[in-house]
Amino acid sequence: SYELTQPLSVSVALGQTARITCGGNNIVSKNVQWYQQKPGQAPVLVIYRDSNRPSGIPERFSGSNSGNTATLIISRAQVGDEADYYCQVWDSSIDVVFGGGTKLTVL
């Protein structure tokens, strides 16, 4: 089976840049999505196909994917960005896989 590994938690100072990683074997060969989930709410798609932002998502959110690691980058972090973040991939041999999630804290 295919596994996606995320850090349990990431902290970032207010206004600085947060980087949340998602590790997987040759993940560069897959499209990676990122979801933001605030307490008591449904997940929201923030990045699709590695680095694309849906409409309504701030430009401060960006993504990259290389080798065995995909990264969600949140620039100029705000208190409102505090949430759990999940990466997700699919291919026909593994179906859909989510990472374990990362709790982002803005200090």
Residues that bind other proteins (CB under 8 A): 31, 33, 35, 37, 41-45, 48-49, 54, 84, 86, 88, 90, 92, 95-101
Rounded to a whole number of angstroms, the minimum distance from the CB of residue 15 to other proteins is 28
Longest dimension (CA), the chain: 41
Phi (first) and psi of residue 80, to 5 degrees: -70, -10
Rounded to a whole number of angstroms, the minimum distance from the CB of residue 100 to other proteins is 5
In angstroms, the CA 72 to CA 99 distance is: 13
Asked whether the CA dihedral 84, 60, 17, 70 is positive or negative, the reply is: positive
Rounded to a whole number of angstroms, the minimum distance from the CB of residue 42 to other proteins is 4
Sequence-ordered list of residues with C-beta below 8 angstroms from that of 91, at least 6 positions apart, any chain: 30
Coil vs helix vs strand at 79: helix
Q: Give the residue with the Cβ less far from other proteins, 15 or 54.
A: 54
Q: Give the residue with the Cβ less far from other proteins, 71 or 88.
A: 88
Rounded to a whole number of angstroms, the minimum distance from the CB of residue 7 to other proteins is 13
Q: Give the residue with the Cβ less far from other proteins, 75 or 90.
A: 90
